[in-house]
Amino acid sequence: MTALGLFNYWAVIFLMMVGFYTLIARGNLVKKIIGLNIFQTSVFILYITMGKITGGTAPIFVEGGEDVIYSNPIPHVLILTAIVVGVATSAVGLSLVIRIKEAFGTIEEDEIQDESL
Amino acid sequence: MIEFVDIALLVLLGITAFSIIRQKNLFAAVMMVGIYSLLSAGLFVVMDAVDVAFTEAAVGAGISTVLMLGTLALVGHSEHQPQHRPILPLFVVILTGAVLVYGTLDIPPFGDASNPAHHHVAPHYLEESEHEIGVPNVVTSVLASYRGYDTMGETTVIFAALVGVLLLLSLGPRPRRVFLNGRWITVAASEKDASKEGVRDVQEDSVQVSHEEEDSGDTNG
């Protein structure tokens, strides 16, 4: 397991940076929200990674299992809440995009800037 | 074996994420986000978080894909080529990534049962919740009982988001989908679309819009 020691964290950082890059470098507003979603999911993976115990199983009680190892349930609970809240916030973001399209006729950042000058 | 699945899923996630930023067609990008969510749901199963995997597959891969597709139907699906070279964003991203990688060097190794994260309240939940709550699934008992206020706050946030979406989309003119000449097209709302003249205007607009869409499709395709 030592080879895997930090691989998960580095993969999470890669995904997080891909999302971050999409968020700051792309001008299309829908693409920005997609980037935000990628970023969000990478944070979920980070939390779930922290909750995993080697040789453990899902935290649901097994009948008569005295020496069963269960993974940590707390990150699971936090992320369950975060997923639903994440979808709610991206719904608000997407409806803002629709309003911006109606007001400016475009959802490209640079064109919106030209329009409002 | 589990390590192998874990690495394979993470590599696939990386490839999917990378192809999402390269993708100029937003419909394709949104479908790829669905794939990304489904892959991460698979990863959650491998990491023993079955409840999270359910939610991610249903809400992340399902509902948010539908929301994004609905938005794309109203705002169009082609992304413009970025005009300036992304040197500053790349610099910021690489710097942040390097700092985060430096930070992981102190993180306790993956899957170790002696990690500090497993020694606060988690043992209490795992040992006592069956007697205290009486539900075999620990995640359920923590979600609905020990941390019930969290869940109440979550529903408050969802309610606030719902109110926000309804307010944003119900006030004032907004683009609509109309069926014209055998295909669905998006029309920008006009100021006076309640009157009959307005309807005629909308139809003229929409014909223009459809031509524009065809043109842009040709240039991109």
Per-residue pLDDT tens listing for chain A (117 residues)? 455 678 888 999 999 999 999 998 888 899 999 999 999 999 999 999 888 888 888 888 887 767 788 888 899 999 999 999 999 999 999 999 988 888 888 888 888 888 777
pLDDT digits (tens, 9 = 90+) for B63-115: 999 999 999 988 887 877 777 778 888 999 999 999 999 988 888 878 777 78
Q: How confident is the model at residue B192 (pLDDT cuts 50, 70, 90)?
A: very low
Rounded Cα–Cα distance for residues A109 and A30 (Å): 11
Is the Cβ–Cβ distance between A23 and A35 less than 8 Å? yes
Q: Which of A1, A71, A108 to mutate to test the interface with B (most CBs of B within 10 A)?
A: A71
What is the average per-residue pLDDT within B15-44? 92
pLDDT at B198 over 60: no
pLDDT digits (tens, 9 = 90+) for B132-182: 888 888 888 888 888 889 889 999 999 999 999 999 888 776 677 778 877
Q: Which residue segments constitute the domains of chain A, with CATH numbers given? A: 10-56+68-116 (1.10.287.3510)
Query: Which one of B136, B164, B173 has the shortest CB-CB distance to A61?
Result: B136
| B185-218 b/e (C-beta count within 10 Å ≥ 16 → b) | bbbbebeebeeeeeeebbeebbeebbeebeeeee
Q: What is the ipTM of this complex?
A: 0.91
The predicted structure's pLDDT at residue A108? 86
Rounded Cα–Cα distance for residues B200 and A46 (Å): 54
The predicted structure's pLDDT at residue B13? 93
Query: Which one of A18, A35, A88 has the shortest CB-CB distance to B158?
Result: A88
Q: How confident is the model at residue B189 (pLDDT cuts 50, 70, 90)?
A: low
The predicted structure's pLDDT at residue A3? 53
Q: The tokens of B73 are what?
A: 């139907």
Q: What is the DSSP string of A49-103?
A: HHH-BTT-B-SBPPTT-SS--B--HHHHHHHHHHHHHHHHHHHHHHHHHHHHHHH
Q: Specify the range with the lowest mean pLDDT, choosing from A66-80, B27-41, B135-149, B199-213.
A: B199-213
Query: Which one of A21, A41, A71 has the shortest CB-CB distance to B37?
Result: A41
The predicted structure's pLDDT at residue B45? 92
Is B21–A35 a contact, with Cβ atoms under 8 angstroms apart? yes
A10 touches chain B (CB under 8 A): yes
